[in-house]
Amino acid sequence: MKLKPVNDKIVVKPKNTEDNTVTESGIILPDTIEDGTLLEGEVISVGQGMYSTTGTLIPVAVEQGDIVLYNKHAGVQEYKLNGEEVVIMSQNEVLSILED
């Protein structure tokens, strides 16, 4: 199955964060401990953009393959796609694009 986002929505595959949720002594930290922490993920699908009030198409600022930073608790919807966790969000939830 494949997701095709609409408007300014994007689909992001989060970077594996399992290593960050267990301390060296083996204590599992709840995800609420990560409040304020930015997450990293790869954009796997992008919508076409939004139309302005004048009918002009405003394209999405990110592209498939971009690595982005976002806040987990800011309008991000989690979804399981083909057994893998992905998140669906507006491009406005992207805080930064990582570049080399």
- Going residue by residue through the chain, which has 100 residues, state the pLDDT in tens, using 9 for 90 and above: 888 999 999 999 998 755 456 677 777 665 555 556 789 999 999 999 999 999 999 999 999 999 999 987 777 889 999 999 999 999 999 999 999 8
- Residue 31 pLDDT: 56
Predicted local distance difference test score (pLDDT) of residue 11: 95
- Per-residue pLDDT at 48: 94
- What local confidence, expressed as pLDDT, does residue 51 receive? 94
What pLDDT was estimated at residue 72? 79
The answer to whether 66 and 42 are in contact (CB under 8 A) is yes
Half-sphere exposure of residue 96: CA atoms within 13 angstroms, side-chain side? 7
Pick 9-98's CATH classification: 2.30.33.40, 3.30.379.10, 3.40.140.10, 2.30.30.60.
2.30.33.40
Global pTM value = 0.77
Q: Where are the domains of the chain?
A: 9-98
